[in-house]
Amino acid sequence: MTARTDLTPNFRAVRLLLAREKDHPAGEHEVGYDILVPLDKNGQLVSAEWKSHQEACRVRRFHSGENDRIGRLRRKPGGQWYFDYAEGERDDEIGFRFGEERFVTGEYLSITSGGSQHTYQIARVEKP
């Protein structure tokens, strides 16, 4: 992701990589997400900054052998965070408890895609 000058100091570029699972016993470094989000000092999402900078909160989904998918981080009424790639809900990917998670290098989080939940390790958190 490229550097931006219109973001607040809380914005971070976060890389998520697929963690170990049955079909990937060593994890997979060519499957994951790059997201640009505002985080507080504890590494948690800052919903007020997200709300005022929604257009900047981007996601890039990468998977070897597939085209990258570009979307946005969105939030449903009630607080559930998800990745939105196009109109409609068929391609949305849900972040499991993203509002409570800490986006800190080495931590894990889960994303539901296509009806299956997968765990990702936070590989990197840095200033954009």
How far is the C-alpha of 105 from the C-alpha of 124, rounded, in Å? 5
Residue 5: its pLDDT value, please?
A: 55
Residue 4: its pLDDT value, please?
A: 54
How far is the C-alpha of 116 from the C-alpha of 6, rounded, in Å? 36
Tell me how long the chain is: 128
Residues of the chain with pLDDT under 50: 1-3
Residue 26: its pLDDT value, please?
A: 83
> Domain map of the chain by residue range?
15-126
- At 108, list the tokens: 């894990």
